Chains A and B, each alone.
With several copies, the nearest count.
Chain A
Amino acid sequence: MLHILRHSPHAQSCFASCLRTINAGQSLLLIEDAVYGLFPGTSSRSALEYLPATVRLYALDVDLQARGLALDDVPTRATIINYAMMVELTVEHHKVVSW
């Protein structure tokens, strides 16, 4: 299952709600303002890093760069993808939940 989060961790309770319901072995893709969750030194980044090791973490390249997060600053466990790869991700996962 692929979870897609789009809201800023600071503005919307769905960031935390999504993290509470992610199971081991699932995937999480951050798009739009949810990429702010990856900023170094934030509690949201810690929460993302503490996800079970089997959770695969992705972030959309243009949304990161548009918002000023240097790709070098993205945690190593996160894979940076483009829209074509996002399509592939949705094909690989039977189910997509957008938060």
Chain B
Amino acid sequence: MKSLLVISRHPPTRRQAREALDVVLSAAAFGVPCGILFMDDGVFQLLKGQDAALIDQKSLAANLQALSLYGVEDILVCQHSLGERGLQVSQCILDARVMNNAELAGLIEHYDQVLSL
């Protein structure tokens, strides 16, 4: 099996965020070793205290919680992106591992395939 890293780069209110999670969950369901990296505005997906119902959207929380249930091993978040947005990992709803730039480069090398979604 070729391992797959999905880089999720869009804010939670965008359809793209949900569609990136769908790709990871599908791949994981097929037994593909998967990781997901939240980067750029994608890090906002992880923020605690969101209430998407107020803008008549379905919360992403269930899909995010499903990641570990589906066996997605690496749940990662970009340190630089968090910092630019004034966020700390303690504000994240998932137990995401923080990656600095050097670690990111290594991570992307480590996976067989990488999709930026």
Q: Decide yes or no whether A13 CB sits under 8 A from chain B.
A: yes
A21 and B41 within 8 A (CB): no
CA distance A33 to B53 in the complex (A): 15
Q: Decide yes or no whether A74 CB sits under 8 A from chain B.
A: no
Q: Decide yes or no whether B12 CB sits under 8 A from chain A.
A: yes
CA distance A62 to B57 in the complex (A): 12
Number of interchain pairs (Cβ within 8 Å): 88
Q: Decide yes or no whether B97 CB sits under 8 A from chain A.
A: no
Size range of the chain A interface in the assembly: 20 to 34
| Chain A residues with CB below 8 A from B108, complex form | 1, 21, 23, 97
Given contacts A14-B40, A33-B11, A95-B112, contact A66 B57 (CB under 8 A): yes
Residue of A nearest to B9 (CB): A14
B86 and A10 within 8 A (CB): no
B51 and A21 within 8 A (CB): no
- Determine the main DSSP class of B at the interface with A: mixed
A1 and B41 within 8 A (CB): no
B101 and A67 within 8 A (CB): no
Q: Decide yes or no whether A8 CB sits under 8 A from chain B.
A: yes
| Chain A residues with CB below 8 A from B53, complex form | 66
Q: Decide yes or no whether B65 CB sits under 8 A from chain A.
A: no
Q: Decide yes or no whether B47 CB sits under 8 A from chain A.
A: yes
Which A residues contact B (CB, under 8 angstroms)? Answer: 1, 8, 10-11, 13-14, 17, 20-23, 32-33, 36, 39-43, 45, 62-63, 65-68, 70, 95, 97-99
What would be 23 A-B contacts, judged by CB atoms less than 8 Å apart?
A13-B41, A17-B39, A20-B80, A20-B101, A21-B105, A22-B105, A23-B106, A36-B11, A36-B41, A40-B86, A41-B86, A62-B55, A66-B51, A66-B54, A67-B12, A67-B13, A67-B44, A68-B44, A68-B48, A68-B50, A68-B51, A95-B113, A95-B114
